[in-house]
Every structure is written in structure tokens, then in C-alpha cells.
Amino acid sequence: MHAAAAPTSLPVVAPNNLQPSKRSRSIPNDLKEVDRGSPEYYIVKFKDPELKSVNPRLVAHLAVSLRTMSLSWVRQFIDSRGLQAITDALGVLNRRTHRTDAELQMETEILKCFKSLLNNRWGARDVILNPQCIFNAIFSIVSSSMVTRKLVCEVMAFLCYCEEPTGHELVLRAMDQVRDARKEIGRFDAWLNVWEVTLDGRGRLGSMVGASDEFKKHGIQSAPDNQLSDYALSNMILVNALIQVMDDLELRIHIRNQLNVCGLQRIIEKMKTFNNDHINRQIQSFKSVAESDSDDMMEIYNDQVLNDLSDPRDVFECILASVEGTRGYEFFLSALQHLLFVRDEGEVRTRYYQVLDSFVSQIVLDNKGLSDDFTSSYGMSVRYLIDKFAEQDELSAALEEVKETRQLYEQTLEAKNALEAEMNERGDGIVTHLKEKTRSLEDLLRISRHTIATLQDKLQDLQRSYQQNLASMEAKLNDVADTKMTPDALVEIVNQSSASTAEKKETLLRTYERIQAQERLEGADKGPGNSILSVSVSVFFIKFDLEPKVIC
């Protein structure tokens, strides 16, 4: 039993903001003045906003001219912005909800013209410089005409390889516009849904028996299976172009995952029944690149032993091993716990996981050059959010440190107050005793200083008295020496002094010795008994009880 056949007229939705490109060159309005064989003639026809002057015959004639006319004629058509004119007309047709057979035929012929113009470098460059041409054409990928859809796939596959990676990025952006206009979730949902429905409309054993209305309506009577195979082949070529153009491993896996989520694996299984060598070759190419990417990923995650990238258990174990023992483990566990809250059944749950997949893809592939990355979708980069989280962690750590410091300060303050109270209680008696002892020592020091000062005064008085007595005695002795004083006179002088007997004896003895030395120096040669000292010398020594000394 076959799946639901493709509808007779698939509604095509295009964004209302697709506007015709501006003509930079003025085109004559009077068709009578324009040569019917010139490029301007066709451009003037396509200039009509309602396309009232355009019919399938005119577009078919233009397609023939673009294939058969000289290169200069084609170059003139491109320079006159003819490529923008025909793709603007294609945009007008795609904005119409219901189209007639003539309009569907015009759509097919316009795409043939578009394909012909891409066969030279001027046309390809003009398309890249004017992305609106691609955006207008991409909506025909969900056209109700299988031939038209096949042409779009061929054009988009070519553009993926045109001026890499610019052409590829423009094709992905165009796919995003189809998704947004048709309110799909997956980037390739609209395209792959129509593709799968078309394959399901295949007749039994490739015949018209049990074929969908699309085959019957469009008169695909001769070898319908061959035409369906060509259509499937064109789609598979576009799939490989979308994946294999990119050099980045993560981006290839991302695009492949998006295609698989939209049902590509089911479509591949259905295409295998065609037993077509060209289709099988494209399928094998798809699988070879996928296996190579899987091997590269397993090599990257060799430490985590990733065996099968398509096995969710292996992927889960690999992720778990990579975050185990780190703080990321807590966030990973939290994310899994939140996934348990997805309790809706059926389609709603599926949509939940589609949204989650899209969101995670945008995060991990941000700034990888994708048109629908996190930055373009939410107006801020993932790096900005990571920095914000890092700042928040630093702030939390700082606040925690401040809290701990404050607690430590309060504990220290309490300990200080307790110590001061204890010291005050235990130290009152000691402090009083020390103060009293200090006062006693200060009094003793003051008395000692006074005593020392008194003794110093007495000593100075004694020194002055002694010096005065000494000076007086020396003066008197000098007088004795000068006047040849007799011993009796000398004794009298000494006796008149207030000195003690011992001091008097000492004084007389020194005086005697001094006089003796003086006479010796003077050289008196008087012999014994002739000097002054020899007179009554015995009396002198006897009187003072001194040891007699002979004067030489």
C-alpha cells in the first residue's frame, strides 16, 4: 500500500517581502522601438509587475535564445539585468497561492533560462552579487511540478560550488527563508517532505499503475520511473553538495544531522529500490563521507571510546565521560533532569526535541559562518554569554569571600573583646601594685638625686678648702725660702696653721726637701754645717720627731 500521493497542486508560500530587484539601467517602454530579437525586448516584457505580457511561449523562446545566441548576446542580457528580471518574475509566481498550468509552465521555463545563464562566468558572478535571485528561485523547490523541482536542485547544487563558500552560504540562507515562510521547524523540512511524497507517488514496478496524480496530471506517460529517478538523483546530488563543500568537520556533521532529522535516511532507503547506478553512487558517496567524519570524531574522542556516532548510548557515554569529575557534570545532569519534564505525547514531544536540537546546534556552532547561528538569531554571541557566566561566577566567589571575611572579622572582634574583658578582670590588682611600685621608685630616685647633689657640693667645698690651704702653705714656704727663714721661724709658721700634727709634719718635710733641692741647684759649696738647714737641724727634727737627714 502506497503512501499518500502528492497533491495535485502543492501550495507554495513565499515571503511577502521578496521585492523585485531594482533596474540600474533604463529600459525603453515602447516595445515598438525595441528589436524583437534583442535582450531588451524580453526584459521589457518581464518588467510588467503582473506579468501580463509574459506567457509560456515567450519564456520558452527566451530559453532557446539563451542557449543558441552568441555569447555577446547573452552577456548583453546579463549586463541589462535580465537575470534579475526573470528571477523577479519567478518571485512573483511563487507568491501566488494557486497557479494555473500556464504559470507552472512559465516557472519551469524561467528556471531553464536561469540554468542557462549560470553556464558562463558572468551569469554566475551576477547571481552571487545579487542573492535575491537565489532567494526567489529557491521557493520553486516545493513547486507542484516535479520537473521544476528537479531544475531547482540542479541550480542550487551548482551554486553550492560557486565561489566557495559564498554560494554555499547563500543556498543555506535561501533554505532558511523557505523554512520561515512555510513555518517549518527543520531547515530542510519543506524540501524533503515534498521529495518523500514524490517518491511515495511512484507506481508499481515503475509503471503508472498506482502512480500519484502528479504523474497523471502532468502527462508523465513515457518511462515515468526514469523521470522519477532523474528527479531523485538531482536531489541526492544537492544533498552531497550541501555537505561535501564544507571543510569544517563539525559543520558537515551539523548539516548531515539536520538532513537526517528531516527524514533523509527514510528517503535513502526508498531510493535504494530504484536500483539505479547513478543514485546508488551518490548514496555511497554520502555514506563514505559520513563514515569518514564519524572516524574523525571517534579519533578526536578516542579517550572516551566513542564507537558509533549514530548510537545515542555511545554518544551519551562519551559526553558523560568528558564532563565527569568537572563542574560541567552538574550542568549536564541538570539538563537531563529538565528533559524529564517533557511529558507531552506524540507530535508535541517531537517538536520539543526539534527545538532543543536547533538551539543546541546554534550554540555549539556559533560564529562558524552559518546563517542561523546563535548570534544572528538572538543578537548576542555565545562567547558573550560565557563571559557573562564567568563574571557571575567571579562575582559569586567574591561575595562568598567577603562573607567569609566578615564572619572571620566578627569572630576576631568577639575574641578581642573577650580577651580585653579577661585582662581587665585579672589585671586590676597587678596594675595598681605596679603603679604604687613605680611611685616608690620615683621617690627613691628623687632622694638619691638630692643626696648626690649634696655630696657633690660638700666635695667641692673640701676641694676649695684644700686648694686654699695648699696655696697658703706654698706662699709661706716661698717666703721662708726667699728670706732664709730659720727652722724655728718655719716651725712657728707651721704651728700657726690649723692643720693637724701629721699634716704639719708632712708639710715641714716637703718644705725641707724643697729647700735642700734649691740649695743643691744653686751650687752652694759650704760643707756640712754651713747651710741654712744645718743650723739647729737637730733641733728641727727632734722638735717634730722626724728622721734626721743629712744635707749634702
Task: Considering only residues 145 and 367, tell me which one the structure prediction assigns the higher pLDDT.
Answer: 145
Q: What is the spatial distance between Cα 68 and Cα 172, in angstroms, rounded to a whole number?
A: 32
- Domain presence at residue 490: yes
- Domain presence at residue 107: no
Q: Residues 287-333: pLDDT tens digits? A: 999 999 988 887 876 655 567 777 888 888 888 888 888 888 888 88
- Cβ-based neighbours of 146, under 8 Å, separated by 6 or more: 198, 214, 218, 220, 227, 228, 231
- Domain presence at residue 550: yes
At residue 204, the pLDDT reads: 56
Q: Residues 490-548: pLDDT tens digits? A: 566 656 655 566 666 676 677 767 767 766 776 654 454 445 444 444 455 555 555 55
Q: Residues 408-455: pLDDT tens digits? A: 888 888 888 888 777 776 666 676 777 788 888 988 998 988 899 899
How large is the average pLDDT for residues 277-295? 94
Chain mean position to CA 333: 25
At residue 19, the pLDDT reads: 45
Cβ contact 192:262 at 8 Å: yes
- Joined together, the cell numbers standing for residue 549 give 737627714
Cβ contact 245:162 at 8 Å: no
- Domain presence at residue 251: no
Q: What is the spatial distance between Cα 526 and Cα 531, in angstroms, rounded to a whole number?
A: 6
At residue 328, the pLDDT reads: 84
Compute the half-sphere exposure of residue 321: CA atoms within 13 Å on the CB side of its CA.
12
Q: What is the spatial distance between Cα 538 and Cα 552, in angstroms, rounded to a whole number?
A: 15
How large is the average pLDDT for residues 94-116? 93
27 pLDDT tier (thresholds 50, 70, 90): very low
At residue 488, the pLDDT reads: 63
Q: pLDDT above 70 covers what percent of the chain?
A: 70
Minimum mean pLDDT among 57-66, 146-155, 278-287, 332-341: which range? Answer: 332-341
- Joined together, the cell numbers standing for residue 263 give 527524514
Cβ contact 228:202 at 8 Å: yes
Place of cell 564532563: 323
Q: Residues 335-356: pLDDT tens digits? A: 888 888 887 777 778 778 877 8
Q: What is the spatial distance between Cα 210 and Cα 216, in angstroms, rounded to a whole number?
A: 10
384 pLDDT tier (thresholds 50, 70, 90): low
22 pLDDT tier (thresholds 50, 70, 90): very low
Minimum mean pLDDT among 114-118, 196-200, 293-297: which range? Answer: 293-297
Cβ contact 367:375 at 8 Å: yes
Q: What is the spatial distance between Cα 82 and Cα 21, in angstroms, rounded to a whole number?
A: 10
| Domain count across the chain | 1
- Joined together, the cell numbers standing for residue 470 give 695648699
The full 3-state SS of 304-335, as one line of letters, equals HCCCCCCCHHHHHHHHHHHHCCCCHHHHHHHH
Range of the domain at 541: 484-552
Cβ contact 144:7 at 8 Å: yes
- Domain presence at residue 530: yes
In one-letter notation, the amino acid at residue 91 is: G
Report the first-to-last Cα separation within the chain, whole angstroms. Answer: 174
Q: Which long-range contacts (CB under 8 A, 24 or more apart) does 40-44 make?
A: 40/80, 42/77, 42/82, 42/85, 43/77, 43/80, 43/81, 43/82, 43/85
User: Mind giving me the DSSP string for 451-489?
Assistant: HHHHHHHHHHHHHHHHHHHHHHHHHHHHHHHHHT--HHH
At residue 5, the pLDDT reads: 35
- Domain presence at residue 522: yes
- Domain presence at residue 489: yes
Q: Residues 130-163: pLDDT tens digits? A: 999 999 999 999 999 999 999 999 999 999 999 8
At residue 99, the pLDDT reads: 87
- Joined together, the cell numbers standing for residue 146 give 516535479
- Joined together, the cell numbers standing for residue 12 give 507554495
Compute the half-sphere exposure of residue 284: CA atoms within 13 Å on the CB side of its CA.
7
- Domain presence at residue 390: no
Return the number of other C-beta atoms located less than 10 Å from residue 391's C-beta: 10
Q: What is the spatial distance between Cα 302 and Cα 294, in angstroms, rounded to a whole number?
A: 12
